[in-house]
A and B are shown apart, each in its own frame.
Chain A
Amino acid sequence: MNRIESAFKNGKAFIAFLTGGDPSLEKTEEFIFELERAGASLIELGIPFSDPIAEGEVIQAASVRALNAGTTVHGIFELVKRVRKKSKIPLAFLTYLNPVYYYGYDKFFAKCAEVGVDGIIIPDLPFEEQGELKAEAEKYGITLISLIAPTSSERVERIAKESKGFLYIVSSMGVTGVRSEITTDIEAIVKSIRAVSKTPAAVGFGISTPEQAAHFAEIADGVIVGSAIVRIIEKYGKDAGKEVYEYVRAMVSGL
């Protein structure tokens, strides 16, 4: 069993996102340990990109802070190396295709394997374009995680059949960000997935309260929380560790 699969083995998974290098790589390292201590099952680590088209204002701003602090892909690999000395928590990158393309697919995934990254989520790499880097990711055993959107309809089955690791169900139309209400019929999507695949499914985009988390964890295999965590980091900066811990602790205990 690889580390991503293990994230879904002990009940519902809580997947936490944060942007690497916001406000600094040292702080990201500390926050990752806080997230783990609070009970997160998997960490989605954002490699900041200049033009994150799937992100709302909160994560856009975090990307800007991280890039202004001088964060590079190389720096993030070094961060993961340090994390791996102390922790076995499943780790997936979230980034856009261009930084990966520029780094070179083979070199990038070789490095992922070397430092201990388990998977990658690329919002601007839809199912049809996965051939772009699938071979390189597989060669080094890095799981390429697919997304499913409210508009995916008949695509759900096609994507689910080929899926690995977990499926990222985008809960709502639009970009990432906290939402008071999520109206998509997630149950129907999960049903379509389960008809063709055993891959666990986690729901993300817009989830910030323990009630929302508990609700979607009941329907799916896990929840993904990003903007709500990043907002705490935005507010408390380098002192956000304790706040992040307490927030995630409360979210996890509600699952």
Chain B
Amino acid sequence: MKNGRFGEYGGQYIPETLMNEVTALEKAYEHYKNDLQFIAELDTLYRNYAGRPSLLYFAEKMTQDLGGAKIYLKREDLNHTGSHKINNVLGQALLAKKMGKTRVIAETGAGQHGVAIATAAALLGLECEIFMGEEDTERQSLNVYRMELLGAKVHTVTSGTKTLKDAVNETMREWTRRVSDTHYVLGSVMGPHPFPIIVRDLQSVISKEAREQILQCENKLPAAVIACVGGGSNAMGMFYHFIEDRDVKLIGCEAAGKGIYTPHHAATIAKGKKGVFHGMKSYFCQDENGQIAPVHSISAGLDYPGIGPEHAYLHKTRRAKYVPVTDEEAVSAFEYLAKTEGIICAIESAHAIAYVQKAARDFDKDESIIVCLSGRGDKDVAAIAKYRGVIIHEQN
């Protein structure tokens, strides 16, 4: 890491209006991340509010069924608000308060980050406004209502493709309108420096715990850790404390939508090209004129045309491997995990499960692998039913 970059990736490609603000953010973060009181407050929130540490669960039936590596699930779905997003928002909301901010704004795709920040804002007494693409407000209407219940104002974004990238655009625009009392709580390891570092550090609690837990269970490190990747925050959190363990494979599962040989995917590493967007140099799905391409995934949380700069670096240096997983594979994995282990996981996380279904037998039976189960799947049930052609009537 040098000048806010991982190799050539990262940077601060943002309007001049925001430059002093991100500089102030960097300074505040560098101070508070070493401030004992801040650390203690965050730790208390993690334990007493979010429910950390999260379980490392041995998926015995799945292990037997797949007949390969011992499969462990890092149960971020059991956190308060139902996903890993709470790790990031509690830290950023606390930091925002320390910086004297009274208002937070955020983008959301599936609504998991939106619900998480609305929750943190309610708890810490911050005003909260969420930007969500119109298409996502429709496929995740329950989460819209959740955010409103938590006291947040939800803005429907109708520009562009009306999904996550447009929600990020609109939140950035809003931040340039009103920056003095407002912190932008970016939801993933993306955007301009220092966001990719702040979010990674806050999410790295996942691998910090998982590394200790697996050593207790297995007395040795896992052969691989696996996570789904959109912007890449749960994956970065799952990878981080294993990066120096060179024998541990790091595998990120991207959304291949209807397939990477169709135009309907969000597989940034497989199909994207280097570019500069949303404040960072990284890989992006784009057309032959450098216009950001519309992307598709059944998962609103992975429906993003870019990937965080540290992932770009891990890819480039071959420390991590990124594999595409289709909608169909993810839906099958969603159903498989429900029936095999009695866990309804987020459709995002199901992308990682799908890869494990394919790859478990590539490992020996005495090896272990950890899958980050980034979120729970209640929010996805209606969409999966629709995908399978089942119509659910929730109201009379």
A: which residues have CB within 8 A of B?
49-51, 53-54, 56, 60, 67, 72-73, 97-103, 123-129, 146-153, 155, 159, 170, 173-175
Could you count the A-B residue pairs with CB atoms below 8 Å apart for me: how many are there?
109
Asked if B177 is at the interface (CB within 8 A of a chain A CB), the reply is yes
Show 29 residue pairs from A and B whose CB-CB distance is below 8 angstroms, ordered by the A residue: A49-B291, A50-B291, A50-B292, A51-B169, A51-B277, A73-B290, A97-B13, A98-B275, A98-B276, A98-B284, A99-B290, A101-B274, A101-B290, A102-B289, A102-B290, A103-B290, A123-B16, A124-B14, A124-B15, A124-B279, A125-B13, A126-B12, A126-B15, A126-B16, A149-B16, A151-B16, A155-B16, A173-B178, A174-B177
The total of chain B residues at the interface (CB under 8 A) is 35
Whether B177 contacts A173 by the Cβ 8 Å rule is yes
Bound Cα distance A92, B254 (Å): 39
B315 CB-CB contact with A under 8 Å: no
Told that A51-B169, A175-B177 touch, could you supply 18 new A-B pairs with CB distance under 8 A? A50-B292, A51-B165, A51-B166, A53-B173, A60-B159, A67-B291, A73-B289, A98-B276, A98-B277, A101-B274, A101-B275, A102-B289, A124-B15, A126-B12, A146-B16, A151-B20, A174-B177, A175-B173
B11 interface residue (CB < 8 Å to A): yes
Residues of A near B286 (CB, < 8 A) are 98, 102
Task: Say yes or no for B160: interface residue by CB 8 A criterion.
Answer: yes
Q: Which residues of B contact A152 (CB under 8 A)?
A: 16, 19-20
Alpha-carbon distance A152/B278, docked complex (angstroms): 20
Min Cβ gap B378→A in Å is 32
The minimal Cβ–Cβ distance linking A128 to chain B, given in whole angstroms, is 6
Identify the interface centre among B14, B159, B276: most chain A CB within 10 Å of its CB.
B276
Enumerate chain A residues within 8 angstroms of B13, measured Cβ to Cβ. Answer: 97, 124-126, 129
A153 to B291, CA, bound (A): 33
B residues less than 8 Å from A72 (CB atoms) = 289
The distance in angstroms between the C-alpha atoms of A254 and B89, with both chains bound, is 51
Q: Are B292 and A151 closer than 8 Å at their CB atoms?
A: no
For the complex formed, measure the closest distance between the CB of B215 and the CB atoms of chain A, giving whole angstroms. Answer: 42
Contact B169 A53 (CB under 8 A): yes
CB of B249 closer than 8 Å to a CB of A: no
Q: B169 touching A101 by the CB < 8 A rule?
A: no
Digit string of B235-275 for contact with A (CB within 8 Å is 1, else 0)? 00000000000000000000000000000000000000111
- Judge if B332 is at the interface, Cβ distance under 8 Å: no
Assess whether A98 is in contact with B292, with CB atoms less than 8 Å apart. Answer: yes
Residues in A neighbouring B291, C-beta threshold 8 A: 49-50, 67, 98-99
User: Are B179 and A173 neighbours in the complex by a CB distance under 8 Å?
Assistant: yes
In the bound complex, CA of A159 to CA of B276 (Å): 22
Complex Cα–Cα for A151 and B179 (A): 9
What residues of A have a CB within 8 angstroms of the CB of B273 in the complex? 102
Tell whether, in the assembled complex, residue A153 and residue B20 are in contact, meaning their CB atoms are under 8 Å apart. Answer: yes
B17 contacts which chain A residues (CB < 8 A)?
149-151, 170, 173-174
| A50 to B291 CA separation, bound complex (whole angstroms) | 5
| Minimum CB distance partner of B177 in chain A | A174
Interface string of B163-183 (1 = CB under 8 A from A): 001100100110011110000
A174 closest partner in B (C-beta): B177
* A98 and B290 within 8 A (CB): yes
Indicate whether B21 reaches chain A with its CB closer than 8 angstroms.
Answer: yes
**Given the complex, which residues of A lie within 8 Å of B179, measured CB to CB?**
151, 173
A145 to chain B, nearest CB (A): 12
Q: Which residue of A lies closest to B284 (CB)?
A: A98
In Å, the complex CA distance between A173 and B181 comes to 13
Taking the closest CB of chain B, its distance from the CB of A147, in whole angstroms, is 5
Residues of chain B from 157 to 204 with CB closer than 8 A to chain A in the complex: 159-160, 165-166, 169, 172-173, 176-179
The 6 closest A-B pairs by CB, nearest first: A102-B290, A174-B177, A99-B290, A149-B17, A50-B291, A149-B16
Q: How far is the CB of A45 from the nearest CB of chain B, in Å?
A: 16
Tell me whether B159 and A101 are in contact (CB under 8 A): no
B290–A127 touching, CB < 8 Å: no
Which of A125, A127, A151 is the most central at the interface, judged by chain B CB atoms within 10 Å of its CB? A151
In the bound complex, residues from chain A placing their C-beta under 8 Å from that of B292 are 50-51, 98
Let me know if B15 and A50 touch, CB within 8 A.
Answer: no
Identity of the chain A residue whose Cβ is nearest the Cβ of B292 in the assembled complex: A50
* A155: chain B residues within 8 A (beta carbon): 16, 19-20
Is there an interface contact between B16 and A129, defined as CB atoms closer than 8 Å? no
Q: Identify the closest chain A residue to B176 (Cβ).
A: A174
Specify which chain A residues have a CB less than 8 angstroms from the CB of B19 in the assembled complex: 126-128, 149, 151-152, 155
**Cα(A51)–Cα(B273), bound, Å:** 17
Chain A residues with Cβ under 8 A from B18's Cβ? 151
Least CB separation from A125: chain B residue = B13
Contact (Cβ within 8 A) B275 A129? no
Q: Which residues 1-25 of B sit at the A interface, judged by CB distance below 8 A? A: 11-21
Choose among B172, B178, B275 the residue that contacts A53 (Cβ–Cβ < 8 A).
Answer: B172
CA distance A173 to B172 in the complex (A): 12
Q: Choose among B177, B178, B291 the residue with the greatest number of A CB atoms under 10 Å from its CB.
A: B291
Q: Which residues of A contact B275 (CB under 8 A)?
A: 98, 101-102
